[in-house]
Structure 1
Amino acid sequence: MMTQKQKTITIYALPLALLCIPLLGNLFSKEFNWTASDFLVAVALLFTTAFLINLVRRTVKKQNHRVLVSIVILLILALIWAELAVGIFGSPFAGS
């Protein structure tokens, strides 16, 4: 069984692991074209999400509520990411 500290480390290590994918893609492939600002936005989004999920994990007592709030946080992340990537809603937020 994982300790609280191990769970927290895992929650914050996951965004780092995810950010290695585009970093390696930038280094070894011409199809990836991430700039420093792209990485900064990704870091902000992923680590904010990790922080919020860790906060929910520590403060919400009921398991069902914890899972539901975490899913909502992940859905919001996915919507923001999709909007920034392709502008699915055509908002000024995405540069449209």
Structure 2
Amino acid sequence: MITQNKRLIGIVFSVGLILLIPLLGMLFTDEVNWNVFDFIVAGVLLLGTGLLCEFTWRFVKNMDYKIGIIAIILVALFLIWAELAVGVFGTPFAGS
């Protein structure tokens, strides 16, 4: 139980550290231009992905299924992130 709680704390801490990267970028250059909504969306995406991976790790017993499901979750994160950033698929949600 203690290990599982440490993983959850690690996920939340990692999301915070990842979100510090664009925040620091905004302090040093004008090329990074995020608003509060961007941070919220990125935080929800990262935290949601981390929690889905954690729940998969806890509840799926077969290691092959575990790895496959987590891989699908991560690919979905990267595709959504790319679409929001540059509009890979041209949906109305594209950032460009």
Give the alignment's TM-score, normalised by structure 1: 0.88
Aligned positions, number: 95
Structure 2 spans left out of the alignment, 5+ residues = none
Shift of 1:70: 0.7
CA contact (8 A) 2:49 2:77 kept: yes
User: Matched residues in 2 for 1:95 and 1:9: separation?
Assistant: 31
RMSD of equivalent CA atoms: 1.7
The letter for the 1-side match of 2:31 is E
Report what 2:28 is aligned to: 28
User: Matched residues in 1 for 2:10 and 2:88: separation?
Assistant: 31
- Give the match's secondary structure for 1:26: helix
The letter for the 2-side match of 1:10 is G
Which deviations, in whole Å up to 9, do the C-alpha atoms of 1:20-79 show, x marking residues without a partner? 100111112221111111111101111111111111011111222111111110100000
Report what 2:17 is aligned to: 17
Report what 2:39 is aligned to: 39
In the TM superposition, 1:1-96 aligns within 5 A as 3-94=3-94
Shift of 1:95: 6.2
The letter for the 2-side match of 1:63 is M
User: Matched residues in 2 for 1:24 and 1:55: separation?
Assistant: 31
Structure 1 spans left out of the alignment, 5+ residues = none
Give percent identity, aligned residues only: 47
Give the alignment's TM-score, normalised by structure 2: 0.88
